[in-house]
Amino acid sequence: MTLAPTLATHSLPSLKAAFGRALLLAWVGSFLIAPPAVHAQGGSVKPGINDKFLSEALDVKEWTGKFEGESRQIYSHRKAIVDALKLEDKQRVADVGAGTGFFSELLSGAVGDNGQVWALEISPKFVEHLKQRFDKAGLENIEVVENTDRTTGLAESSIDLAFICDVYHHFEYPDAILNNLKYVLRGHGSLVVVDFHREAGKSEDWVLEHVRASQDVFRKEIESAGFVFVEEVKIEGLDDNYIMRFRNR
């Protein structure tokens, strides 16, 4: 009977050579298998934060009323916010967490017919609403994308600006989505985050409960992902929210 080879049947030099080749193949294979956007990610920072938006019972009409009311500062200052982005004709923009779509419409006008807007949403109900809204408005430079809570679904180096308004605190996996945004942003593309001031003793109770962290914490998370802080944009009358602009390295 012939036994299968064991460790003892090989010389030490041949084992070292075989082991070296295996390491080299594994190293090369890691680049072929995993795209640059894939990284080891941390766990959920706030489990269930988006459950209500993923539900089949979501009432789009109800949320449209909440999102598009003049008492909501983000909505009442929507034009000033888009103006502050300083978009140019032909630019390509991702509205991350487009919701009911009012910002996507304004972004569409800002980049012109030769520009492109991707309205990203993880909520199936909002995705359906967005498609109907833009079709009805005849906005051909907006494409609706049903993305995930970890990825944008966009191609590498495909956008000039990622716009994230009242959405960053809804990122359940911020490490993952930020790494993917670096992948899809061109060169020194911009990342703009609009979110709520969260300050104990100043912010309303619902903000303290709903928004998981302060502006400083969010800024550190974004910088840790490799983005460079550029400026904080101020808009008169926009007191509930801050605007931070970052640059992709």
Whether the pLDDT of residue 239 is over 80: the answer is yes
Whether the pLDDT of residue 77 is over 90: the answer is yes
36-45, 65-74, 141-150, 206-215: which has the minimum mean pLDDT?
A: 36-45
The domain limits of the chain are 74-248
Whether the pLDDT of residue 80 is over 80: the answer is yes
Question: Looking at residue 178, what is its pLDDT?
Answer: 98
Question: Looking at residue 2, what is its pLDDT?
Answer: 35
Q: How far apart are CA 76 and CA 201, in angstroms?
A: 25
Whether the pLDDT of residue 40 is over 80: the answer is no
CATH classification for the domain delimited by 74-248, as one of 3.40.50.620, 3.40.50.970, 2.40.50.100, 3.40.50.150: 3.40.50.150
> How does the average pLDDT of the chain come out, rounded?
87
Split at pLDDT 50, 70, 90, the class of 42 is low
Question: Looking at residue 20, what is its pLDDT?
Answer: 45
13-17, 72-76, 125-129: which has the minimum mean pLDDT?
A: 13-17
Whether the pLDDT of residue 236 is over 80: the answer is yes
Split at pLDDT 50, 70, 90, the class of 146 is very high
Percent of the chain scoring above 90 in pLDDT? 82
Exposure on the CB side of residue 211, measured as CA atoms within 13 A? 24
- Look up residue 114 and give its two tokens: 């030769």
Q: How far apart are CA 16 and CA 61, in angstroms?
A: 67
Question: Looking at residue 249, what is its pLDDT?
Answer: 84
Contacts of 75 (CB under 8 A, 6+ apart): 67, 68, 69, 102
Pairs from 147-151 (Cβ < 8 Å, separation ≥ 24): 147/120, 147/121, 147/122, 148/122, 149/50, 149/122, 149/173, 149/176, 149/177, 150/41, 150/176, 150/177, 150/180, 151/37, 151/176, 151/177, 151/180
Which residues are registered as beta bridge partners of 228? 247
Contact at 8 Å (CB) between 45 and 174?
Answer: yes
Contact at 8 Å (CB) between 63 and 99?
Answer: yes
Percent of the chain scoring above 70 in pLDDT? 83
Whether the pLDDT of residue 12 is over 80: the answer is no
Q: From the CA atom positions of the chain, what is the Rg in Å?
A: 23
Helix ranges, 98-214 (H): 102-111, 124-137, 174-184, 205-210
Question: Looking at residue 132, what is its pLDDT?
Answer: 98
Q: What's the pLDDT tens digit per position in 177-227?
A: 999 999 999 999 999 999 999 999 999 999 999 999 999 999 999 999 999
Q: What's the pLDDT tens digit per position in 88-120?
A: 999 999 999 999 999 999 999 999 999 999 999
CA distances from 222 to 108, 155, 203 (A): 26, 21, 22
Tokens 């004709």 belong to: 89
Contact at 8 Å (CB) between 53 and 212?
Answer: no
- What are the backbone angles phi and psi of residue 226, rounded to the nearest 5°? 110, 10
Kindly report the pTM of this predicted structure. 0.83
| Residue 236 burial (CB count, 10 A) | 7
Q: How far apart are CA 249 and CA 246, in angstroms?
A: 9
